[in-house]
Every structure is written in C-alpha cells, then in structure tokens.
C-alpha cells in the first residue's frame, strides 16, 4: 500500500470517528432535552 493511500485511510477513519462522536452528543442532548 502506498503512503498516500495509507494517509487517506487514516484521515477517513478519523473523520468517521468524529461523525460518530458528534452523533452521540446530538443523541445525548436530544435525550436530555425531553
């Protein structure tokens, strides 16, 4: 695997993790609001 491809996968994974965390926080805040 090339360095560039490896790097792209890393960034992709990080971005996906960020989305998961943001989604969790949204669910928590909505749940707390009700």
Kindly report, residue by residue over 1-34, the tens digit of the pLDDT: 799 999 999 999 888 888 888 999 999 888 888 6
Q: Note the pLDDT of residue 30.
A: 86
| Residue closest to 15 by CA, chosen among 5, 23, 3 | 23
Cβ neighbours, 10 Å, residue 10: 10
What does the block give as tokens for 29? 């805040």
Mean pLDDT of the chain: 88
Torsion sign (Cα): 5, 7, 12, 17: positive
Helix (H) or strand (E) holding 17: helix 3-33
Q: Note the pLDDT of residue 1.
A: 72
Q: Note the pLDDT of residue 34.
A: 63
Q: Note the pLDDT of residue 31.
A: 86
What does the block give as tokens for 28? 């928590």
């Amino acid at each position: 695997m090339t360095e560039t491809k490896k790097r792209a996968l890393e960034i992709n994974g990080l971005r996906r993790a960020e989305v998961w965390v943001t989604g969790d926080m949204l669910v928590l805040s909505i749940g707390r609001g009700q």
